[in-house]
Amino acid sequence: GKPRVVVVGGGAGGATAARYIAKGSKGAIDVTLIEPTRKYYTCFFSNLYLGGFKEIEDIGHTYGGLAAGGVNVVHDWAVGVDRDARTVSLAGGGSLPYDKLILSPGIDFVEGAVEGWGLSAQNAMPHAYKAGSQSELLKAQLMAMPEGGTFAMVAPPNPYRCPPGPYERVSMVAHFLKQNNPTAKIIVADPKPKFSKMALFQEGWANHYEGMIDWIGDDFGGGNVSVDPNEMTVSIDGEVTKVDVCNVIPAMKAGRIAELAGVTDGNWAPVNASDMSTKADADIYVLGDASSQGDMPKSGFSANSQAKVCANAVRGALTGSKVFPAKFSNTCWSLIAPDDGVKVGATYEATPEKIAKVDGFISQTGESSDLRKATYEESEGWYTGITTDMLG
């Protein structure tokens, strides 16, 4: 029969890989995508939803386009991988055979990373770092804040999904509060001494949200932050603060199925840069956030870029089609305030050791408002482009 590819996870990495393999092989390869949700809510632009620039349905996408593109979409959870038998087992009871298996499960949280917080506390203190109901919950809590209340964020340690994500979120929360609750305060407890696009965010916070944001970042370490979801308190270096909203973004690791497949180093899945195959198993590939690949940040743009390299290599391996040298790119845009967009990005190549950065660029402080507006508009075009590229 035809060669079989199974893809686990219909996000930025998995959906793109499934679509490109199905499309590129014109039916010569059987492609099955396993994804539990009927609708994928993008984390990208979920901060803009918090800020009031998007509606929740603007960031929700169905899988009909992928199915129409020849991908067999199975709505279920992958719960195990038998590497000898080359099968993936499903929560619903079935099992799927594969010749090549692509895992792009995104992230899970490291248990016990923030003292006092666990998944059972995610309703009291949402992470909103997987989009959808968590984003809606955080927004509802933001809207319900009392006048002059306090919004707290516990930021994650490196490496994590979307390096500028927490800081774009702070900006969008500040924008919302400036409009609706101008005496409210934001405190950020950050285990890192610095963060992505820091000078740009700090300039923007001073320009747009003077006096509202207290970023407490240094080397105090995640261990010195704890939360109490019942009391709604945050303790930073022993100082306890009562807050109205607490957005806890814990330390991350690869989505659990990568661990179950035995292809992680305990946290992330080390991969070969040329094709995203894992160091542990040449027939299992890991894309996106779950992979440990070198210099690329964990972003949707990166996952999409890695997926195309992987799709090309997998097609080559299964059908003998031409394989091009691996090239990757990434750009992360962030919105700081209306029409005030900034970006950071780079191009990359595969070396024997890792995905290695070739060239990069970043927005500058003090840029004109016209340029910042153009940067924001560019991000809108990117959003339409990537969601179409992923899902058809």
Give the interface with ligand FAD as residue ranges (CB under 6 A).
8-14, 34-37, 40, 43-44, 46-47, 77-78, 104-106, 129, 161-162, 165, 169, 255, 257, 287-290, 298-301, 303, 332-333
Q: Which is nearer to ligand FAD, 161 or 253 (CB)?
A: 161
Q: How is residue 344 written in tokens?
A: 């950071």
User: Minimum Å distance from CB 333 to ligand FAD?
Assistant: 6
181: number of Cβ within 10 Å:
18
Q: Which is nearer to ligand FAD, 177 or 310 (CB)?
A: 310
Cβ(107)–Cβ(161) below 8 Å: yes
Q: Which is nearer to ligand FAD, 134 or 228 (CB)?
A: 134
* Gap between the Cα atoms of 177 and 171, Å rounded: 10
Sole residue written with tokens 């320009």: 207
Q: Is 178 exposed, middle or buried (0-12, 13-18, 19+ CB in 10 A)?
A: middle
Q: Which is nearer to ligand FAD, 212 or 252 (CB)?
A: 252
Q: Which helix (H) or strand (E) holds 199?
A: helix 198-208
User: Minimum Å distance from CB 10 to ligand FAD?
Assistant: 5
User: Minimum Å distance from CB 22 to ligand FAD?
Assistant: 17
User: Minimum Å distance from CB 105 to ligand FAD?
Assistant: 4
User: Minimum Å distance from CB 147 to ligand FAD?
Assistant: 26
Q: Give the CB-nearest residue to ligand FAD.
A: 11
Contacts of 267 (CB under 8 A, 6+ apart): 110, 253, 254, 292
Sign of the dihedral through C-alpha 157, 163, 168, 169: negative
Q: Which is nearer to ligand FAD, 7 or 228 (CB)?
A: 7
Q: Which is nearer to ligand FAD, 228 or 298 (CB)?
A: 298
Cβ(309)–Cβ(287) below 8 Å: no
Sign of the dihedral through C-alpha 135, 141, 143, 149: negative
Q: Which is nearer to ligand FAD, 60 or 316 (CB)?
A: 60
User: Minimum Å distance from CB 201 to ligand FAD?
Assistant: 14
Omega of the bond leading into 159 within 30 degrees of 0 (cis)? yes
User: Minimum Å distance from CB 196 to ligand FAD?
Assistant: 11
User: Which among 249, 344, 256, 346 is positioned nearest to 294, based on CA atoms?
Assistant: 346
In the beta sheet, which residues pair with residue 32? 6, 72
Q: Which is nearer to ligand FAD, 13 or 204 (CB)?
A: 13
User: Minimum Å distance from CB 212 to ligand FAD?
Assistant: 20
Contacts of 182 (CB under 8 A, 6+ apart): none
